[in-house]
Homo-oligomer: A and B are copies of this chain.
Amino acid sequence: MNSSITHFTQFDSKALGEQLIQDALYFKTNPRADITKGRGKRIGCIFLNPSLRTRVSTQIAAQNLGMEPIVLNMDKEGWALEMKEGAIMNQGTVEHIKDAAGVLGTYFDILAIRAFPTLTDKESDINDYVISQFMKYTGTPIVSLESAIRHPLQSLADQITIREHSQENKKPKVVLTWAPHIKAIPHAVANSFAEWTSGMEHDLTITHPEGYELDEKFTKGVKIEYNQSKALEDADFVYVKNWSSFQDYGKIHCTDTSWMLTEDHLKNAPNAKIMHCLPVRRNVELSDEMLDGPRSLVQKQAENRIYAAQSVINHLLDSNF
Protein backbone atom coordinates (compact mmCIF):
# COMPACT_ATOMS: atom_id res chain seq x y z
CA MET A 1 0.00 0.00 0.00
CA ASN A 2 1.36 3.39 -0.92
CA SER A 3 -1.24 6.14 -0.50
CA SER A 4 -0.15 9.38 -2.06
CA ILE A 5 -1.39 12.92 -1.60
CA THR A 6 -0.40 16.27 -3.07
CA HIS A 7 -1.53 18.44 -0.18
CA PHE A 8 -2.30 17.70 3.45
CA THR A 9 -5.34 19.71 4.40
CA GLN A 10 -7.89 17.07 5.49
CA PHE A 11 -8.57 13.42 6.22
CA ASP A 12 -7.94 11.33 3.14
CA SER A 13 -8.53 7.63 3.85
CA LYS A 14 -8.19 5.12 6.65
CA ALA A 15 -5.28 3.55 4.76
CA LEU A 16 -3.33 6.80 4.65
CA GLY A 17 -4.33 7.58 8.24
CA GLU A 18 -2.93 4.23 9.31
CA GLN A 19 0.29 4.78 7.40
CA LEU A 20 0.76 8.24 8.92
CA ILE A 21 0.19 6.90 12.46
CA GLN A 22 2.71 4.09 11.93
CA ASP A 23 5.31 6.47 10.53
CA ALA A 24 4.74 8.90 13.39
CA LEU A 25 5.28 6.16 15.96
CA TYR A 26 8.44 5.16 14.14
CA PHE A 27 9.77 8.72 14.16
CA LYS A 28 8.88 9.03 17.83
CA THR A 29 11.45 6.36 18.63
CA ASN A 30 13.91 7.55 15.96
CA PRO A 31 13.34 11.27 15.42
CA ARG A 32 16.31 11.75 13.13
CA ALA A 33 16.18 8.43 11.31
CA ASP A 34 15.60 10.20 7.98
CA ILE A 35 17.76 13.26 8.67
CA THR A 36 19.03 13.42 5.09
CA LYS A 37 15.70 13.02 3.30
CA GLY A 38 14.84 16.72 3.23
CA ARG A 39 18.37 18.06 2.88
CA GLY A 40 18.48 21.10 0.64
CA LYS A 41 14.69 21.46 0.77
CA ARG A 42 12.79 24.25 2.48
CA ILE A 43 9.48 24.51 4.23
CA GLY A 44 7.89 27.93 4.68
CA CYS A 45 5.66 28.16 7.73
CA ILE A 46 3.25 31.01 7.07
CA PHE A 47 1.22 32.22 10.05
CA LEU A 48 -1.67 34.54 9.35
CA ASN A 49 -2.60 33.88 13.01
CA PRO A 50 -0.44 33.31 16.08
CA SER A 51 0.80 29.91 17.16
CA LEU A 52 2.99 28.25 19.77
CA ARG A 53 2.77 24.44 19.58
CA THR A 54 2.08 24.33 15.87
CA ARG A 55 4.96 26.58 15.00
CA VAL A 56 7.54 24.85 17.16
CA SER A 57 6.42 21.29 16.43
CA THR A 58 6.45 21.94 12.69
CA GLN A 59 9.90 23.51 12.83
CA ILE A 60 11.25 20.57 14.81
CA ALA A 61 9.57 18.04 12.52
CA ALA A 62 11.13 19.68 9.47
CA GLN A 63 14.56 19.87 11.09
CA ASN A 64 14.31 16.19 12.04
CA LEU A 65 14.02 15.48 8.31
CA GLY A 66 16.96 17.73 7.48
CA MET A 67 14.83 20.53 6.03
CA GLU A 68 15.36 24.23 6.64
CA PRO A 69 12.20 25.77 8.07
CA ILE A 70 11.58 29.50 7.71
CA VAL A 71 8.79 31.02 9.80
CA LEU A 72 6.83 34.04 8.60
CA ASN A 73 4.47 35.59 11.12
CA MET A 74 2.55 37.59 8.57
CA ASP A 75 0.04 38.90 11.06
CA LYS A 76 2.65 40.32 13.39
CA GLU A 77 5.09 41.36 10.72
CA GLY A 78 2.50 43.69 9.23
CA TRP A 79 1.74 42.16 5.87
CA ALA A 80 -1.98 42.50 5.16
CA LEU A 81 -3.02 40.27 2.25
CA GLU A 82 -5.79 41.14 -0.19
CA MET A 83 -8.06 38.14 -0.62
CA LYS A 84 -10.63 39.35 -3.18
CA GLU A 85 -10.30 38.45 -6.86
CA GLY A 86 -10.34 41.60 -9.00
CA ALA A 87 -9.99 43.98 -6.05
CA ILE A 88 -8.93 47.54 -6.72
CA MET A 89 -6.26 47.69 -4.03
CA ASN A 90 -6.60 51.28 -2.89
CA GLN A 91 -7.19 50.43 0.76
CA GLY A 92 -5.20 48.84 3.58
CA THR A 93 -4.03 45.59 1.98
CA VAL A 94 -0.50 45.70 0.60
CA GLU A 95 -0.28 42.54 -1.49
CA HIS A 96 -2.71 40.20 -3.23
CA ILE A 97 -2.71 36.61 -2.07
CA LYS A 98 -2.16 35.56 -5.72
CA ASP A 99 1.15 37.33 -5.87
CA ALA A 100 2.29 36.38 -2.39
CA ALA A 101 1.31 32.72 -2.91
CA GLY A 102 3.14 32.62 -6.23
CA VAL A 103 6.33 34.01 -4.74
CA LEU A 104 6.22 31.79 -1.66
CA GLY A 105 5.67 28.79 -3.91
CA THR A 106 8.85 29.74 -5.75
CA TYR A 107 10.86 30.11 -2.56
CA PHE A 108 9.79 26.93 -0.79
CA ASP A 109 9.46 23.23 -1.53
CA ILE A 110 6.53 22.88 0.87
CA LEU A 111 4.30 25.59 2.31
CA ALA A 112 2.66 25.16 5.70
CA ILE A 113 -0.12 27.66 6.34
CA ARG A 114 -2.22 28.76 9.28
CA ALA A 115 -5.31 30.83 8.48
CA PHE A 116 -8.16 31.08 10.96
CA PRO A 117 -11.79 31.66 9.95
CA THR A 118 -13.41 35.07 10.07
CA LEU A 119 -16.33 33.65 12.13
CA THR A 120 -18.37 36.42 10.51
CA ASP A 121 -18.36 35.48 6.80
CA LYS A 122 -19.76 31.95 6.86
CA GLU A 123 -19.69 31.54 3.09
CA SER A 124 -16.00 32.37 2.90
CA ASP A 125 -15.16 30.20 5.88
CA ILE A 126 -16.98 27.04 4.75
CA ASN A 127 -15.22 27.35 1.40
CA ASP A 128 -11.95 27.49 3.36
CA TYR A 129 -11.16 30.54 1.33
CA VAL A 130 -7.60 31.43 2.33
CA ILE A 131 -6.03 27.98 2.14
CA SER A 132 -7.94 27.32 -1.09
CA GLN A 133 -6.37 30.43 -2.59
CA PHE A 134 -2.93 29.25 -1.57
CA MET A 135 -3.67 25.83 -3.11
CA LYS A 136 -4.77 27.56 -6.31
CA TYR A 137 -1.86 29.92 -6.74
CA THR A 138 1.14 28.37 -5.04
CA GLY A 139 2.09 25.37 -7.12
CA THR A 140 3.79 23.52 -4.23
CA PRO A 141 2.51 20.95 -1.73
CA ILE A 142 0.60 22.62 1.09
CA VAL A 143 0.25 21.53 4.69
CA SER A 144 -2.59 23.04 6.67
CA LEU A 145 -1.52 24.32 10.08
CA GLU A 146 -5.20 24.97 10.80
CA SER A 147 -7.51 26.44 8.24
CA ALA A 148 -10.94 27.99 8.63
CA ILE A 149 -12.62 24.60 9.05
CA ARG A 150 -9.96 21.98 9.77
CA HIS A 151 -6.87 21.33 11.89
CA PRO A 152 -5.60 18.06 10.42
CA LEU A 153 -2.17 17.94 12.09
CA GLN A 154 -3.84 18.29 15.47
CA SER A 155 -6.25 15.49 14.58
CA LEU A 156 -3.47 13.24 13.42
CA ALA A 157 -1.62 13.89 16.71
CA ASP A 158 -4.86 13.04 18.51
CA GLN A 159 -5.21 9.76 16.62
CA ILE A 160 -1.61 8.85 17.45
CA THR A 161 -2.35 9.54 21.13
CA ILE A 162 -5.53 7.46 21.03
CA ARG A 163 -3.60 4.61 19.41
CA GLU A 164 -0.90 4.74 22.09
CA HIS A 165 -3.47 4.58 24.90
CA SER A 166 -5.95 2.11 23.41
CA GLN A 167 -6.29 -1.49 24.48
CA GLU A 168 -5.57 -3.96 21.74
CA ASN A 169 -8.60 -5.58 20.11
CA LYS A 170 -11.04 -3.10 21.62
CA LYS A 171 -12.69 -0.39 19.54
CA PRO A 172 -12.37 2.66 21.81
CA LYS A 173 -15.42 4.69 22.74
CA VAL A 174 -14.54 8.30 21.99
CA VAL A 175 -16.63 11.26 23.15
CA LEU A 176 -16.21 14.79 21.86
CA THR A 177 -17.77 17.12 24.39
CA TRP A 178 -18.44 20.82 24.02
CA ALA A 179 -17.05 22.98 26.83
CA PRO A 180 -17.69 26.58 27.86
CA HIS A 181 -15.40 29.43 26.79
CA ILE A 182 -15.50 33.20 27.01
CA LYS A 183 -14.73 33.85 23.35
CA ALA A 184 -16.19 32.81 20.01
CA ILE A 185 -13.96 29.91 18.99
CA PRO A 186 -13.52 28.31 15.52
CA HIS A 187 -14.91 24.89 14.62
CA ALA A 188 -11.72 23.58 13.05
CA VAL A 189 -10.47 21.34 15.86
CA ALA A 190 -13.91 19.84 16.49
CA ASN A 191 -14.60 19.33 12.78
CA SER A 192 -11.28 17.65 12.12
CA PHE A 193 -11.46 15.51 15.24
CA ALA A 194 -14.89 14.23 14.14
CA GLU A 195 -13.68 13.68 10.59
CA TRP A 196 -10.59 11.72 11.64
CA THR A 197 -12.14 9.77 14.50
CA SER A 198 -15.00 8.49 12.36
CA GLY A 199 -12.62 8.07 9.41
CA MET A 200 -10.45 5.80 11.55
CA GLU A 201 -13.66 3.90 12.45
CA HIS A 202 -13.68 4.53 16.19
CA ASP A 203 -16.97 4.59 18.09
CA LEU A 204 -17.64 8.36 18.25
CA THR A 205 -20.30 10.29 20.16
CA ILE A 206 -20.56 14.08 20.12
CA THR A 207 -22.27 15.92 22.94
CA HIS A 208 -23.10 19.62 23.10
CA PRO A 209 -25.94 21.98 24.01
CA GLU A 210 -28.70 22.25 21.41
CA GLY A 211 -27.86 24.86 18.82
CA TYR A 212 -24.20 23.87 18.76
CA GLU A 213 -24.51 21.28 15.99
CA LEU A 214 -21.37 21.20 13.85
CA ASP A 215 -21.47 21.36 10.05
CA GLU A 216 -23.07 18.04 9.02
CA LYS A 217 -20.33 17.52 6.50
CA PHE A 218 -18.11 16.52 9.40
CA THR A 219 -20.58 14.57 11.54
CA LYS A 220 -22.33 12.34 9.02
CA GLY A 221 -23.11 8.99 10.69
CA VAL A 222 -21.86 10.17 14.09
CA LYS A 223 -24.03 9.84 17.22
CA ILE A 224 -25.17 13.19 18.62
CA GLU A 225 -26.27 13.05 22.26
CA TYR A 226 -27.43 16.26 23.94
CA ASN A 227 -27.28 14.73 27.41
CA GLN A 228 -23.66 15.06 28.44
CA SER A 229 -23.74 12.52 31.33
CA LYS A 230 -25.29 9.92 29.09
CA ALA A 231 -22.77 10.58 26.35
CA LEU A 232 -19.84 10.22 28.75
CA GLU A 233 -20.85 6.77 30.10
CA ASP A 234 -18.07 4.20 29.64
CA ALA A 235 -16.02 6.56 27.51
CA ASP A 236 -12.40 5.58 26.88
CA PHE A 237 -11.37 8.99 25.55
CA VAL A 238 -13.08 12.30 26.21
CA TYR A 239 -12.06 15.15 23.92
CA VAL A 240 -12.95 18.49 25.46
CA LYS A 241 -13.34 21.50 23.21
CA ASN A 242 -15.29 24.68 22.86
CA TRP A 243 -16.72 25.94 19.59
CA SER A 244 -19.11 28.75 18.71
CA SER A 245 -22.46 28.14 17.07
CA PHE A 246 -22.31 27.02 13.45
CA GLN A 247 -25.96 27.62 12.60
CA ASP A 248 -26.08 31.09 14.16
CA TYR A 249 -22.64 31.55 12.79
CA GLY A 250 -19.86 32.50 15.18
CA LYS A 251 -22.20 33.36 18.04
CA ILE A 252 -22.05 32.28 21.69
CA HIS A 253 -25.38 30.80 22.84
CA CYS A 254 -24.45 28.86 25.91
CA THR A 255 -22.33 29.85 28.90
CA ASP A 256 -23.61 27.11 31.19
CA THR A 257 -20.61 26.31 33.41
CA SER A 258 -22.00 22.86 34.26
CA TRP A 259 -20.63 21.74 30.90
CA MET A 260 -17.08 22.22 32.25
CA LEU A 261 -15.63 18.77 32.80
CA THR A 262 -14.73 17.75 36.37
CA GLU A 263 -14.00 14.41 38.02
CA ASP A 264 -17.65 14.24 39.01
CA HIS A 265 -18.73 14.15 35.34
CA LEU A 266 -16.76 10.95 34.87
CA LYS A 267 -18.15 8.82 37.66
CA ASN A 268 -19.55 6.42 35.06
CA ALA A 269 -16.41 6.44 32.96
CA PRO A 270 -13.70 5.10 35.28
CA ASN A 271 -11.13 4.53 32.55
CA ALA A 272 -11.73 7.69 30.58
CA LYS A 273 -8.68 9.63 29.46
CA ILE A 274 -9.05 13.37 28.91
CA MET A 275 -7.85 15.11 25.75
CA HIS A 276 -7.56 18.76 24.72
CA CYS A 277 -5.58 20.40 21.94
CA LEU A 278 -4.27 23.28 24.09
CA PRO A 279 -4.16 26.13 24.79
CA VAL A 280 -6.82 25.46 27.41
CA ARG A 281 -8.65 27.97 29.58
CA ARG A 282 -8.22 26.31 32.98
CA ASN A 283 -11.30 26.19 35.18
CA VAL A 284 -13.41 27.41 32.28
CA GLU A 285 -13.11 24.57 29.74
CA LEU A 286 -11.54 22.01 32.06
CA SER A 287 -10.87 21.96 35.80
CA ASP A 288 -7.34 21.98 37.25
CA GLU A 289 -8.27 18.65 38.84
CA MET A 290 -8.69 17.06 35.42
CA LEU A 291 -5.70 18.69 33.77
CA ASP A 292 -3.28 17.94 36.59
CA GLY A 293 -4.65 14.45 37.28
CA PRO A 294 -3.78 11.01 35.90
CA ARG A 295 -6.54 11.04 33.28
CA SER A 296 -4.94 13.86 31.31
CA LEU A 297 -3.29 13.14 27.96
CA VAL A 298 -2.91 16.77 26.94
CA GLN A 299 0.87 16.92 27.28
CA LYS A 300 1.18 13.71 25.30
CA GLN A 301 -0.98 15.12 22.53
CA ALA A 302 1.25 18.19 22.39
CA GLU A 303 4.35 16.01 22.15
CA ASN A 304 2.78 13.98 19.35
CA ARG A 305 2.33 17.17 17.34
CA ILE A 306 6.02 16.85 16.41
CA TYR A 307 5.63 13.33 15.05
CA ALA A 308 2.33 14.03 13.31
CA ALA A 309 3.98 16.88 11.44
CA GLN A 310 7.08 14.81 10.75
CA SER A 311 5.03 11.92 9.40
CA VAL A 312 3.11 14.23 7.06
CA ILE A 313 6.15 16.14 5.81
CA ASN A 314 7.93 12.83 5.28
CA HIS A 315 4.95 11.62 3.25
CA LEU A 316 4.89 14.75 1.12
CA LEU A 317 8.63 14.44 0.50
CA ASP A 318 8.03 10.86 -0.66
CA SER A 319 5.02 11.78 -2.80
CA ASN A 320 6.06 14.96 -4.50
CA PHE A 321 9.76 14.90 -5.24
Contact = CB atoms under 8 A, between A and B. Distances in A.
A72 interface: yes
Given A56-B107, A106-B303, A302-B106, A279 B95 contact: yes
A307 to B, nearest CB: 11
17 contacts: A42-B63, A44-B56, A50-B77, A52-B79, A55-B72, A57-B107, A60-B70, A60-B107, A86-B283, A86-B288, A89-B284, A90-B281, A95-B280, A99-B282, A99-B298, A99-B299, A107-B306
Contact of A278 (B57, B76, B99): B99
A87 interface: yes
A221 interface: no
Interface in A90-143: 90-91, 94-96, 98-100, 102-104, 106-107
Interface of A: 31-32, 40, 42, 44, 50, 52-53, 55-57, 59-60, 63, 68, 70, 72-74, 76-79, 82, 86-91, 94-96, 98-100, 102-104, 106-107, 182, 278-284, 288, 291-292, 298-299, 302-303, 306
Contacts of A306: 107
Contacts of A89: 281-284
Contacts of A278: 95, 99, 103
Contact of A63 (B68, B103, B291, B299): B68
A52 B77 CA distance: 9
